[in-house]
Each structure stands twice: as structure tokens, then as C-alpha cells.
Amino acid sequence: MDQWITGVTGRIAGHVIFVENPEHTDYAKTLAGEGSTVLVLNGDKADQGIVPVSGSFDAAGEELLVDGTLSLEIQDYVAIPFVNLVGVTLVRITTEEDWQAFFDDADEAFRSGHFVQQLTEVNAVLAERRLLSGAAKDNLLLTRLHITWDGSVRTGPYGTKIGKVGDSLPDIRVRALSLRPESAVAAVHYPDDIQESLESKPWIPRYLAALDAWKFIPREDRATTSLVGFGVSLYGATLRDDVPSASAPFILKRAAEHTLLDTKTGRLFTIGTDAAAIIEAVSNERDIKVAARVVAPALKVSAGVAEGAARAVVTHFDQLGIDIIGAR
């Protein structure tokens, strides 16, 4: 389900196919390779080759029940700040208002450190995550297919039409080769607008990573915790200048205490104030010499001394398997 919602590859070995009309089940099976999953709305529960789903996938406030066990609530992005997330919630971005609110919230997070609390919850699943994360422009991988009630084959629930019932998988793959990531929402929003907005905001992947970082922080600690780089800098970095890689670790600040969070593993490391400032600078600049030069005034040392300290910090965490720059 995560792969169908987000378009992110690797959740399953193959691709996921969602079928709105049970009459198209047999055709969907011809498109399913090894490791693929076929989801069928109101599908036959006795059919071992599919995962039956029921409810609605396309109506805000409704629920989609997967295999009789997993309940997904559907919500529009603009409604999220006003909704209590009881269970797993699919947060879809389909309208112009949704997109504007998303970008406004990201801006606010970088400026003030304020995040929409619901988006930081473990059970919030942001739709079209692959598009938002800055996927490569060309040769879009066929991670999912969506077969509409009338038999159109799309790249996702709101994606571009690339075929119809009866078309072979090789033909569908050929049509998908030239697609760009924004084709994932072409059926509901003008894709060029979205791509231009994302290209003008290259820091969006780091913002998405920050939403994930909050999920590692206990709820009782969130009110007193800040993410460095979001409304706060330890050495005076300019707003959104040289934003770290999405995969770089985060620094958590609570009063005078600093902790390094590696979201890849969930590991936490207590660090000193100077080390925290160095890590922020190295992550921002992605170059130790440049980082040393910008952080030296905050450390009240020369650039040469700061560089030596920075190299020691980076080496220490490299030995622990933590990539401060986030290049790996």
C-alpha cells in the first residue's frame, strides 16, 4: 500500500496494481510479475492471487479497508491541521489549494521551526512522496499501475493514462519510459506548475526528511525539542542557505543539550555544543574547509583550528557508520 500511495520504489520486489473494477482482475494478473501485488476494490476474498480492498480510495473522510485488516483514512492535505489522526491516514495532495498549503507549511517550518503536528505522526502517510522527494526527471520506473473503472491504465490513482485493458505490459512500459515524475498527478493538476515549484524549492526533500525525523522523538519531548536548521542555527546560518542532503543526520536541541539523530538507523548520540555546530556546518556546506571557515567565529577559534576539529568529528562519526554530509 505504501508503494501505491507514495510511488516510492522498493517497498515490494515488483510493482503494485490497483484495480477499481473487479471485472478487470484477470487482466491485472497478466501485468503482475514476480513480487508484484494486485489490489482489487471489492475483489473476491477467495482469490489467493489478489489482495481485496473495500471502501473508497478517492473520497476525503472515507476509509479504504485492505485485506480486511488495514484501515486507511483518506484526507486532503488542507484538512490535515484540523483532523485528529486516529489510524493510518493517507494525506493526498490533489488540488491547487493542497499544493499551496504544502509549500506554505514547508516554508513556515524552515522559517520558524513550526511543523504541522499531524504530519509528524507515524500514522500520517504523505501521498506522491516520490514526486516530492525530487525523483529523476527521466525514465520513470513503473512502480505502480492503477486501472480505473472504465479500463484506463494510469501511472497511479491520479496519474497519466498509459494504456487500456488489453494492452500488454511491454507496451505499457514503453509508454512509461518517457514520463516525468510530475506525470503522477497529471490527471488532477497541471504538472508543469508542480515541477516548476519543486525545482524552485530544492530544500523540499530535507523538509520531508525532517517530518520523518520527528517520528523518532517521543511525543512528550517534542514541545521542548527543536530541529537545528529549522528556525534555529548553532552558528548563524542564513535561512535555507546550503540546506543539507535529505539523508544527512539531524541535530536535536533541547535547552543546552544536543543530540545527533541518524534516521537511517534510529541511533541517537549525545554531542557537545561545539561538535553540534561543526556538524551543522559540515552538513550545510558539504565541504570541510568551507564549513570550518563559516563555523570558526561561533567557536571563537581560527579557521585552521576549526578545520582540524571538523575533520576529527567527521572521522569519528564515519567510524560509527554515520555520514555527516549525507552523500552515501
DSSP string, 176-225: HHT--GGGGGTTTS-HHHHHHHHHT-TTHHHHHHHHHHHTTS-GGGGGG-
pLDDT of residue 60: 92
Residue 47 has a pLDDT of 96
Q: What percentage of residues in the chain have a pLDDT greater than 90?
A: 80
- Grid cell 561543526 is found at 278
Lookup result for grid cell 579557521: 303
Whole-model pTM above 0.75? yes
Tell me what pLDDT residue 34 has. 87
pLDDT, residue 328, reads: 65
The rounded percent of the chain whose pLDDT value lies above 70 is 96
Distance separating alpha carbons of residues 275 and 295, to the nearest angstrom: 10
Here the cell at position 7 is 510511488
CA geometry: angle at 226 spanning 222 and 228, to 5°? 150
Q: Is the dihedral of CA 228, 233, 235, 240 positive or negative?
A: positive
Encoded amino acid at 140, one letter: L
Q: Domain map of the chain by residue range?
A: 2-199, 220-319
Q: What is the pLDDT of residue 204?
A: 94
For position 193, what pLDDT does the model report?
79
Q: How far is CA 65 from CA 41, 68, 72, 88, 249, in A?
A: 9, 6, 6, 11, 35
Burial 226-240 (b: 16+ CB within 10 A, else e): ebbbbbebbbebeee
> Over the chain (328 residues), what is each successive 10-residue block's mean pLDDT?
90 92 98 94 96 94 95 96 93 93 95 96 93 67 90 94 96 88 83 80 94 94 95 85 89 96 94 97 95 96 97 96 88
Tell me the residue ranges of DSSP E strands in 204-319.
Answer: 226-227, 250-254, 257-262, 267-271
Predicted local distance difference test score (pLDDT) of residue 240: 60
